[in-house]
Amino acid sequence: MESIASNLGAIREEIKAACIAAGRSAEEVRLIAVTKTKPAGLVREAFEAGQLDFGESYVQEFLEKQQDPQLEKLPLSWHFIGHLQSNKVRSVIGRVSLIHGIDKLSTAEELSKRAVQHNINADYLLEVNTSAESSKYGMQPEEVLGVAESLFRLPNVTLRGLMTIASPDPQRARKEFRSLRLLLESLKLAAPDPSKLTELSMGMSGDFHEAIEEGATMIRVGTAIFGWR
């Protein structure tokens, strides 16, 4: 396998190329390096190659990695990208820059309650199931606008946009990414402050080109950087 630094370099070039093809600026797309199941030493290697944003999916593994002596003093920006259960909210709050995987009003309410207790503001994305696969987490697209008003009213939390995990087939994935972007546009019309709703977290190792062409502002890439899990 190639080194992490060269994998990261290659992906950054691909991001640029996809942005140029889509008429976008490469600064509009943030690369989140997904390190689930990978040891802290590899996170450190990626940091030394200039990577700052990291994504983790499992609460226990995330907490252990964040507190690893090799990493705890580094200025890393952690993203919680897994499905977040309500009873796990208190473990991640205040430790991450963005929570991508909130898919229920009740979980957002719990996040808000904890954020008030901690006297902080927590940014989050709503996870949407755009592929209609029942095995996937995420709110159904047609439910989102119905809960939007309640979400916008919650204190000490800011909804920053939407996240999805698309179908494995890139052509289907492209349609799903497009539907997520359109959903974000509708959500902005309902938002008291649409300028906060800037993020589309979509695209992984196998489909980030399509995601960038369809408007992704954050792509979550694991395998293409760190190898197979």
Ligand X SMILES: *Cc1c(COP(=O)(O)O)cnc(C)c1O
The residues that touch ligand X, with contacts defined as CB under 6 A, are 34, 36, 57, 81-82, 165, 204-206, 220-224
Q: How far is the CB of 79 from ligand X (least distance, A)?
A: 10
Q: Which CB, 197 or 221, lies closer to ligand X? A: 221
Is 1 or 189 the residue whose CB approaches ligand X more closely?
Answer: 1
CB of 215 to ligand X, least distance (A): 17
In the bound state with ligand X, the residue whose beta carbon lies nearer, of 4 and 221, is 221
Sorted by sequence, the CB contacts under 8 Å of residue 112 that are 6+ apart come out as 122, 154, 155, 156, 157
Residues 92/84, Cβ–Cβ less than 8 Å? yes
How far is C-alpha 150 from the geometric centre of its chain's CA atoms? 22
Q: For residues 81 and 108, which CB has a smaller minimum distance to ligand X in the complex?
A: 81
